[in-house]
């Protein structure tokens, strides 16, 4: 694979996707320290919000240690070069949240929908684009449908005003050939000025390999997370990816030593559990299940005695999508009754 | 003389058609007109085949017939954008408006919780909140009538096939309207609503999760009893309203997991979200009719 001379924008997720792994309990100081160190290391774009995006604070997804407003307001003024992005899922967050994010200095809005439901994003993408923000359409769980379907939905988001489209492997299920096919079709068929991006999860240890395939297919934005801090077995580990890209001659503008120090000295120490491919995270990738379900399934196992792996596999069979965290306790109760545990 | 109230349905889409099919069976409401804006629309054709008069010129097309045909109640299944005008024009002629859009210019109505108040006061415009609201607010109210609810949160998961373009283009309206009604009707001090659209095939039956955070430690026995009673109330007009799990208690959190299967009148049974809206709307109109027949309320006066 020859990627020499290509330029890629790396987008860090550890303060947003990493919120899942931290049950949304990252402190303001931790956020500011990590963001500042990433800025210093040359990361150009950093995502900051509740794990489920603006307005995600809830019983269903977890109440965060601080509001989105508090996090954004603490981090953004400290940034010298890095820009800050915010995620938003229509159905959870609203246009009011977008306006709040804009007022606080967020530069990039990423509007996320399930990969078949792009038409719920028209209002949000439209408003973000109208406010002059860098506007990304983020198609989640893209492994569940064909490349043609992803393209159809991407074109909707493009028509609403998105200047960048992401193919998102929320379950960490994809293998490199699938990434090549999907990103390749997006690159061939979307407007040439529309950027394309890839967001991976490391549940089958494919984060790096898939991201390389994405770059080869034409992606210019790649999500990763310092030390991999993210839902499931985490995201593409960013410091590792920087090292690989350095060797392949891809320009990122990120300082390898500095970013590996951020991982080692700041991010790893705050992990509540090792971010690794344990049997449950592996099940996410193997069965194609939304990565943030992991800790909910583990908690249900602890509470009701049903194996997390069985719960996750059943959620995969039922075709659950991002945001259906409430299904986990419901299903665990039903399974526990069937198994005579309660 | 029949005591049925004569009705018009505005909007011949999924909701309007399902409503029409239910109304044909009603002992209290008689469908007379179906109103649309496209003469070629499938919905208007279906209505004609069912022997209903149709107009393709919007509400204006039916206004000259309101008094002559003794229309007393209207169901608006169009969009929030046009509802206010529709309502104003029909209210002027003394027609009670049941609003199935998220416009919410009139008070929210969730039949087992607050329908009686609205009929007693003869409200001329009542709003049916949203499908997610109809499915969940009875449960919030079932907890809040036992003890104070600091926070009520509902998660509605619906099949992709059952969500029409109106909801998709303005999904914020769902979140805003539903969370408002979780407070105003459900009785939670603060409300939050989340909607998830799932494209699985075969389509999933509507699912709803209701979380309440009570101010004091929950009275488990009383809440459990209240929830079961409320489920039975809703089942009177939506037989497929089922408690799947719960109430479960975790500290001050009370959670209830529901499934709503429709009657399969127009859309298949998985679209319980559609059914619970139309059934609630029809139930509301029937209550007005019953009260009028008893003489408990007097419908707006008609000229000649």
Q: For position B156, which CATH number holds?
A: 3.30.360.10
What's the Cα-to-Cα distance from B303 to each of B70, B105, B122, B289, rounded to whole Å? 11, 26, 19, 20
Give the A:B interface size as CB pairs under 8 Å: 91
The alpha carbon of residue B236 is apart from the nearest alpha carbon of chain A, in Å, by 25
Flag whether B302 is in a domain.
no
The alpha carbon of residue A289 is apart from the nearest alpha carbon of chain B, in Å, by 13
Full domain range(s) for residue B149: 131-269
pLDDT of residue A22: 98
Q: Can you name the residues that pair with B207 across neighbouring β-strands?
A: B157, B259
CATH class of A9-270: alpha beta
Handedness of CA B27, B29, B32, B38 (dihedral sign): negative
Mutation target for A interface from B132, B155, B250: give the one with most A CBs within 10 A.
Answer: B155
Q: Is the pLDDT of residue A30 over 90?
A: yes
Rounded-to-integer distance, Cα B244 and Cα B242, Å: 6
Which residue of chain B has the CA closest to A336? B245
Q: What is the dihedral of CA B105, B108, B111, B117, to 10 degrees?
A: -90
Rounded-to-integer distance, Cα B28 and Cα B218, Å: 40
Which residue of chain B has the CA closest to A318? B200
Q: Pick the catalytic residue: A11, A20, A114, A124?
A: A20
The mean pLDDT of B47-70, rounded to a whole number, is 95
Model pTM score: 0.95
How confident is residue B119, by pLDDT bands cut at 50, 70 and 90? confident
B160 contact A CB<8A? yes
Q: Are residues B261 and B157 in the same domain?
A: yes
The alpha carbon of residue B195 is apart from the nearest alpha carbon of chain A, in Å, by 5
Q: Are residues B94 and B156 in the same domain?
A: no
Q: Is the pLDDT of residue A310 over 70?
A: yes
Tell how many helices (H) and how many strands (E) occur in chain A: 14, 8
Q: Using CB atoms, which residue from B160, B174, B253 is nearest to A116?
A: B160
User: DSSP character for B9?
Assistant: E
How confident is residue B2, by pLDDT bands cut at 50, 70 and 90? low
Question: Rounded to an integer, what is the distance from CA A176 to the centroid of its chain?
Answer: 18
Q: Are residues B163 and B39 in the same domain?
A: no
Q: Is the pLDDT of residue B303 over 60?
A: no
User: DSSP character for B299?
Assistant: P
Tokens of B136: 């969940």
Q: Is the pLDDT of residue B120 over 90?
A: no
Among A42-56, B36-50, B161-175, which range has the highest average pLDDT?
A42-56
Spell out which residues of chain A touch residue B157, defining contact as CB-CB under 8 Å: 324, 326-327
Q: Pick the catalytic residue: B131, B213, B238, B254?
A: B131
Q: Using CB atoms, which residue from A58, A123, A334 is nearest to B172?
A: A123
Is A182:A142 a contact under the CB 8 Å cutoff? yes
The alpha carbon of residue B270 is apart from the nearest alpha carbon of chain A, in Å, by 14
Q: Using CB atoms, which residue from B157, B175, B211 is nearest to A324?
A: B157
Q: Using CB atoms, which residue from A95, A117, A318 is nearest to B160?
A: A117
Q: Is the pLDDT of residue B128 over 80?
A: yes
Flag whether B148 is in a domain.
yes
Total count of domains within chain B: 2
Rounded-to-integer distance, Cα B16 and Cα A237, Å: 52
Is A335:A306 a contact under the CB 8 Å cutoff? yes
B248 contact A CB<8A? yes
The alpha carbon of residue A14 is apart from the nearest alpha carbon of chain B, in Å, by 25
Residues of A contacting chain B (CB within 8 angstroms): 58-60, 90-92, 94-95, 114, 116-117, 119-120, 122-123, 318-321, 323-324, 326-327, 329-330, 333-334
Rounded-to-integer distance, Cα A237 and Cα B221, Å: 49
Q: Are residues B108 and B142 in the same domain?
A: no
The domain ranges of chain A are: 9-270, 279-338
A59 and B169: CB-CB below 8 Å? no
Rounded-to-integer distance, Cα B182 and Cα B155, Å: 12
Q: Is B131 a catalytic residue?
A: yes
Tokens of B4: 């049925």
Q: Which residue has the tokens 């960013």?
A: A238
Q: Is the pLDDT of residue B121 over 90?
A: no
B31 contact A CB<8A? no
Which residue of chain B has the CA closest to A91? B195
Q: Are residues B113 and B141 in the same domain?
A: no
Q: Using CB atoms, which residue from B165, B169, B192 is nearest to A58?
A: B192
Q: Is the pLDDT of residue B218 over 50?
A: yes
Which residue of chain A has the CA closest to B178? A91
Which residue of chain A has the CA closest to B252? A59
Predicted confidence (pLDDT) per residue in A244-278, tens digit: 999 999 999 999 999 999 999 999 999 999 999 99
Spell out which residues of chain B touch residue A327, defining contact as CB-CB under 8 Å: 157, 207
Flag whether B246 is in a domain.
yes
Give the β-pairing of B96-99 and B125-127: parallel
* CATH number given to A279-338: 1.10.8.60
Q: Is the pLDDT of residue B1 over 60?
A: no
Q: Which of B7, B303, B300, B261 is nearest to B159 (CA)?
A: B261
Spell out which residues of chain B touch residue A90, defining contact as CB-CB under 8 Å: 171-172
Q: For position B288, which CATH number holds?
A: 3.40.50.720
Rounded-to-integer distance, Cα B38 and Cα B34, Å: 12
Same topology between domain A9-270 and domain A279-338: no
How confident is residue B164, by pLDDT bands cut at 50, 70 and 90? confident
Phi, psi of A251 (to 5 degrees): -85, 130
Q: Are residues B116 and B140 in the same domain?
A: no
Q: Cis check for the bond before B202: say yes or no (omega within 30 of 0).
A: yes
Q: Are residues B193 and B85 in the same domain?
A: no
The alpha carbon of residue B234 is apart from the nearest alpha carbon of chain A, in Å, by 21
What is the pLDDT of chain A when averaged over all its residues? 98
Q: Are residues B85 and B156 in the same domain?
A: no
Q: Which of A258, A195, A203, A257 is nearest to A232 (CA)?
A: A203
Q: Which of A214, A277, A220 is nearest to A252 (CA)?
A: A220
What is the pLDDT of chain B when averaged over all its residues? 94
Mutation target for A interface from B170, B196, B259: give the one with most A CBs within 10 A.
Answer: B196
Q: Is the pLDDT of residue A20 over 70?
A: yes
The mean pLDDT of A122-127, rounded to a whole number, is 97
The alpha carbon of residue A294 is apart from the nearest alpha carbon of chain B, in Å, by 19
Q: Which residue has the tokens 């193919």?
A: A167
pLDDT of residue A162: 98
First vs last C-alpha separation in chain A: 54
pLDDT of residue B304: 46
Mutation target for B interface from A97, A112, A120, A324: give the one with most B CBs within 10 A.
Answer: A120
Q: Are residues B183 and B282 in the same domain?
A: no
B198 and A329: CB-CB below 8 Å? no
Interior CA angle at B138 toward B133 and B142, to 5°? 145
A319 and B168: CB-CB below 8 Å? no
B211 and A117: CB-CB below 8 Å? no
Flag whether B185 is in a domain.
yes
The mean pLDDT of B219-241, rounded to a whole number, is 97
Q: Which of A3, A74, A69, A16 is nearest to A252 (CA)?
A: A3
How confident is residue A342, by pLDDT bands cut at 50, 70 and 90? confident
């Amino acid at each position: 694979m020859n990627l020499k001379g290509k330029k890629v924008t790396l987008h860090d997720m550890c303060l947003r996707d990493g919120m899942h792994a931290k049950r949304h309990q990252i402190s303001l100081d931790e956020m500011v320290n990590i963001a500042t160190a990433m800025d210093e290391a040359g990361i150009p774009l950093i995502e900051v919000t509740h794990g489920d995006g603006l307005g995600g604070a809830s019983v269903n997804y977890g109440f965060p240690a601080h509001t989105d407003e508090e996090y954004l307001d603490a981090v953004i003024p400290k940034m010298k070069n890095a820009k800050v992005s915010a995620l938003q899922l229509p159905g959870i967050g609203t246009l009011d949240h977008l306006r709040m994010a804009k007022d606080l200095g967020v530069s990039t809005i990423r509007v996320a929908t399930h990969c078949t439901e792009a038409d719920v994003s028209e209002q949000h993408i439209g408003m973000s684009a109208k406010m002059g923000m860098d506007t990304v359409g983020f198609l989640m769980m893209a492994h569940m449908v064909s490349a043609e379907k992803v393209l159809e939905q991407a074109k909707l988001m493009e028509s609403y005003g998105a200047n960048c489209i992401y193919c998102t492997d929320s379950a960490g299920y994809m293998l490199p050939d699938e990434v090549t096919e999907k990103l390749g079709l997006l690159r061939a068929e979307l407007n040439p000025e529309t950027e394309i991006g890839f967001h991976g999860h490391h549940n089958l240890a494919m984060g790096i390999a898939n991201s390389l395939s994405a770059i080869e297919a034409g992606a210019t934005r790649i999500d990763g997370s310092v030390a991999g801090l993210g839902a499931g077995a985490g995201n593409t580990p960013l410091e590792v990816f920087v090292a690989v890209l350095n060797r392949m001659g891809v320009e990122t503008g990120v300082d390898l030593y500095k970013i590996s120090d951020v991982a080692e000295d700041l991010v790893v120490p705050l992990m509540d559990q090792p971010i690794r491919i344990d049997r449950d995270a592996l099940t996410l990738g193997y069965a194609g299940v939304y990565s943030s379900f992991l800790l909910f399934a583990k908690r249900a196992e602890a509470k009701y005695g049903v194996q997390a792996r069985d719960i996750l596999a059943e959620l995969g069979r039922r075709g659950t999508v991002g945001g259906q965290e409430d299904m986990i306790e419901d299903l665990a109760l039903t399974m526990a009754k069937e198994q005579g545990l309660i | 003389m029949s005591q049925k109230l004569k009705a018009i349905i505005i909007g011949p889409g999924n909701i309007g058609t399902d409503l029409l099919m239910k109304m044909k069976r009603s002992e209290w409401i008689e469908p007379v007109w179906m109103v649309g804006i496209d003469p070629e629309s499938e919905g208007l054709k279906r209505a004609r085949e069912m022997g209903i008069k149709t107009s393709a010129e919007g509400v204006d097309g039916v206004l000259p017939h309101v008094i002559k045909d003794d229309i007393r109640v209207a169901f608006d299944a169009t969009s929030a954008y046009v509802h206010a005008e529709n309502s104003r024009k029909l209210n002027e002629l003394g027609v009670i408006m049941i609003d199935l859009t998220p416009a919410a210019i009139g008070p929210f109505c969730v039949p087992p919780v607050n329908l009686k108040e609205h009929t007693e006061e003869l409200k001329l415009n009542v709003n049916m909140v949203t499908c997610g609201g109809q499915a969940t607010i009875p449960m919030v109210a079932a907890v809040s009538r036992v003890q104070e609810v600091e926070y009520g949160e509902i998660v509605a998961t619906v099949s992709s096939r059952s969500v029409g373009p109106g909801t998709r283009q303005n999904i914020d309206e769902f979140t805003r309207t539903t969370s408002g009604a979780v407070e105003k009707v459900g009785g939670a001090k603060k409300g939050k609503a989340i909607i998830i659209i799932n494209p699985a095939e075969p389509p999933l039956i509507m699912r709803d999760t209701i979380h309440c955070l009570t101010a004091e430690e929950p009275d488990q026995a009383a809440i459990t009893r209240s929830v079961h009673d409320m489920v039975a109330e809703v089942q009177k007009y939506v037989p497929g309203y089922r408690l799947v799990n719960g109430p479960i208690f975790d500290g001050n959190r009370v959670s209830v997991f529901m499934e709503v299967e429709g009657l399969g009148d127009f859309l298949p049974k998985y679209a319980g979200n559609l059914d619970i809206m139309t059934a609630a709307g029809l139930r509301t109109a029937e209550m007005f009719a019953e009260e009028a027949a008893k003489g408990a309320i007097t419908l707006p006066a008609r000229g000649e």
